[in-house]
Amino acid sequence: MNANTVVLCSGMKKEKKSVHTKVTYSSCCKEGKIKLPPFNNPPEPLMNLLNHNDGSKSKHFRQRIRQYNSLFSFTSMGANIDKSINQGNGPCVFRINGQVHHHIGSLLPKPNERPQFAHIYIYTRAVNKEDPESADLDPEIVGSLIKMLDEYNPIVKEFRHARDILREHEGVDVSICIVGTDSQELTEREMPNINELAILIVGELSLENYKRDIIVQSKKHGLQHISILHPAYMPLQYPLLFPYGEPGYHIQMYYQDTNIKSEGKRKKLTMHDYFKYQVHYRKGQPNPYICYGRLSKQIVVDARACEDEDRLQYIAQNQDKIRVEYLQGIVDAVEKGAKEGSEIGKQTLLTSSH
């Protein structure tokens, strides 16, 4: 390390040059190469509910914010969640085992099935005290959050529009297309509108035109796996963290430094760069990744799981680039007389840097 450089934290360096002092940030934003629009202040009543000085109702909401978010989430979260770790009096910890998946179903539930996740935006369900998911939830808070999402969240507005059409025209086929990464650069906007995030489709649907979008059909049952690269991956799971439907990470994000466009340098943000930028505190700016208590702990773990899945997918799709045919012992197997593929077997080899 240079004698004139003093490390202040993981993402900041202070360089001393004669009289002038210059502070550079490297870990969080790659020295200014990453620039994302700041998050807007949450609308009311969410703003007051997140206020630590707003009395017992705010305290109740912050302690149960994960349950409230689950009540409004569009998607289900597939993971083995370890709930035993929070039995003591220590700080809240969110821990999972195995791989994480987000799934979304149809607009309408199966016959005799209780509406849940995206269904509740078609069939509004009252808070039931006998329901373990909504135990100890305040109906007044739930009602105020419903009104807030109806007013500010463009995805919710599109689901409500689909509900109105289904009620007016019974039996009509309705689909909602949640826009993927084929559209314009989503990072340039701070307040998305309905047409930028979701499209309502009535009648027959040709999936050829929507390969990178999420299609939620009215009568198709079963769960649809959502790609971690879809910009709505996080907003669908965490509507209370992103009440305006702000898009998350997608593959069309670019660095801001003009020099990085030169040959041989990476031009697009990696998922790791994006989440590393988001989990840093910035004075005077709301940040759902670090400022929303227990729900922030959940999304940080979820983001880390996304990074691991992204890296594993890359390794699995690029096995030929790491000379995997030699490392898997295929050459040795052939020399021993194995001729059928079933005799050799197939492995996915991880790189030493993983």
Do 41 and 286 meet the contact criterion of CB atoms below 8 Å apart?
Answer: yes
B/e letters for 206-237, b = 16+ CB within 10 Å, e = fewer, are: eeeebeebbbbbbeeeeeeebbbbbbbbbbbb
140 & 87 share domain: yes
Residues contacting 172, CB < 8 A, separation 6+: 165, 166, 202, 203
Alpha carbon 94 to its chain centroid, in Å, reads 16
63 & 187 share domain: yes
Residues contacting 86, CB < 8 A, separation 6+: 92, 93
310 & 332 share domain: no
Residue 9 lies inside a defined structural domain of this protein: no
Query: What's the pLDDT score for residue 214?
Result: 77
Helix (H, G, I), strand (E, B) or coil at 17: strand
- Whether the link from the prior residue into 115 is cis, omega within 30° of 0, is no
252 & 327 share domain: no
Residue 27 lies inside a defined structural domain of this protein: no
Residue 153 lies inside a defined structural domain of this protein: yes
242 & 328 share domain: no
250 & 342 share domain: no
| Rounded distance between C-alpha atoms, residue 338 and residue 332, angstroms | 9
Question: If residue 149 lies in a helix (H) or strand (E), which one and from where to where?
Answer: helix 139-152
217 & 76 share domain: yes
Question: Residue for token digits 């309705």?
Answer: 174
Number of Cβ atoms within 10 Å of the Cβ of 309: 17
346 & 250 share domain: no
| Rounded distance between C-alpha atoms, residue 14 and residue 25, angstroms | 9
216 & 344 share domain: no
Residue 106 lies inside a defined structural domain of this protein: yes
Instruction: Give how many domains the chain has, as a whole number.
Output: 2
The structure tokens listed for 30 are 């790659």
In residues, how long is the chain? 354
Return the HEC string of 214-272: EEEECCCCCCEECCCCCCCHHHHHCCCCCCCCCCCCCCCCECCCHHHHCCCCCCECCHH
Residue 24 lies inside a defined structural domain of this protein: no
73 & 120 share domain: yes
| Whole-prediction pTM | 0.77
Question: If residue 155 lies in a helix (H) or strand (E), which one and from where to where?
Answer: helix 154-168
Range of the domain at 353: 323-354
Sequential pLDDT tens for the chain (354 residues): 444 433 334 455 544 555 566 666 677 887 788 888 889 999 999 999 998 776 888 999 999 999 999 999 999 887 777 777 777 777 778 887 777 878 888 887 777 777 777 777 777 655 555 555 556 889 899 999 999 999 999 989 888 888 888 888 777 788 878 878 654 444 444 556 556 677 777 766 665 556 677 778 777 666 788 888 899 899 999 999 999 998 899 888 888 865 555 555 778 888 999 999 999 988 888 999 998 989 999 999 999 989 988 888 887 777 777 655 554 555 555 655 555 555 555 566 666 666
Query: What's the pLDDT score for residue 41?
Result: 92
